[in-house]
Homo-oligomer: A and B are copies of this chain.
């Protein structure tokens, strides 16, 4: 692999000039630029990013810590993040924490050791800011985990409200809210729930809140949990779920029991993952602005220092009406 010095030699200039061309292009004349570029091509030169990073004391990696890569919602997050990261000339260092605080912290220090330009974290771990110290910007997405970490979220309160309005408008009277423990703890889920509950109360409806303990949900036996719920509340006619998977599970349960969806039971999901459009019946849901969140988070890091980081930024959500409600 050719080095900068070899390129310089071949182009008949000094390393300084070549380096300048790479870093402050307008400082070197077009003619010289061209010669250098030719030399680079001839030698198949590629700057060694590692050396660059060492010298600059920062890399152009952006660390992304997510609880899961497989979950459709986070898969979407990863996809969008990667898109914007690459579009800005950065590289994605992906970390899957599996909801473990310990791993999140380990990943954090790994990212620090690799001098990342910034880290974006989707965590349910509150107060993580105490366990980490990093000079690069840290952005939390989807929830507020610490007052000192800038958050970019969607309008969860309004998401809850939209769902409530729709169910009420469709005439539902006995409504349940299902939330999936670990996946949706923290501020944003509660805001969502608050928006839902408060709005329903305006219609004179008191929803049944079904929040499962983490450990029960981690075991993934959704169908059993749902069956248990329906034994006690078989008469509900509306359900709002904190994510689309949960909505699909409930529809699945209903279909198996011969309950017509949306005829007898209207179901609304959350996130708008691909599955929502594919399921039969397709799932009415609240669309999360994953793309906006991702773009904003990435750009916040890329332009760090140019503008101050807001404590939090929230993007609007959208109701997507499909067949299930």
Indicate if A95 sits at the interface (CB-CB under 8 A).
yes
Using Cβ atoms and an 8 Å threshold, which residues of chain B touch A274?
70, 72
Chain copies in the assembled complex: 2
Q: Does more than half of chain A's interface fall in helix, strand or loop, or is it mixed?
A: helix
Cβ of A79 and Cβ of B70 under 8 Å apart?
Answer: yes
- Is A50 in the interface zone, CB < 8 Å from B? yes
Binary flags per residue of A213-246, CB closer than 8 Å to B gives 1, else 0: 0000000000000000000000000000000010
CB distance from A109 to the nearest CB of B (A): 6
Is A27 in contact with chain B by the CB < 8 A criterion? no
- Chain B residues near A71: list those with CB within 8 A: 75
User: Given A72-B75, A79-B68: A109 and B46 within 8 A (CB)?
Assistant: yes
**Which B residues are CB-close (under 8 A) to A251?**
280
For residue A48, CB closer than 8 A to chain B, the reply is yes
Cβ of A31: which chain B residues have Cβ within 8 Å of it?
Answer: none
Q: Determine which of B76, B92, B252, B280 lies in contact with A94 in the assembled complex, contact meaning CB atoms within 8 Å.
A: B92
A76 cross-chain contacts in B, Cβ below 8 A: 70
Say yes or no: B95 contacts A93, CB within 8 Å.
Answer: no
Q: Flag whether A53 is at the interface (Cβ < 8 A).
A: yes
Chain A 96-126 interface residues, beta-carbon cutoff 8 Å to B: 96, 109-110, 112-115
Is A299's CB within 8 Å of the partner chain B?
Answer: no
Contact present for A50 and B59 (CB under 8 Å): yes
A95-B113 CB under 8 A given contacts A255-B280, A256-B280 = no
Total interface residues in chain A, CB < 8 Å: 46
Which listed residue (B86, B96, B114) contacts A50, Cβ 8 A? B114
**By the criterion CB–CB under 8 Å, are B113 and A46 in contact?**
yes
Residue of B nearest to A74 (CB): B75
A28-50 contacts to B (CB < 8 Å): 46-50
Pair B278/A50 contact, Cβ less than 8 Å: no
Q: Closest residue of chain B to A71, judged by CB?
A: B75
Query: Inside 8 A of A54's CB, which chain B residues have their CB?
Result: 48, 50-51, 54
Q: Which residues of B contact A94 (CB under 8 A)?
A: 78, 82, 92-94
Cβ of A295 < 8 Å from any Cβ of B?
no
The 4 A-B residue pairs whose C-beta atoms are closest, nearest first, are A75-B75, A69-B79, A70-B79, A94-B94
Question: Can you list 11 A-B contacts (CB < 8 A)?
Answer: A50-B50, A69-B69, A70-B79, A70-B274, A72-B75, A75-B78, A78-B94, A86-B96, A251-B280, A256-B280, A275-B275
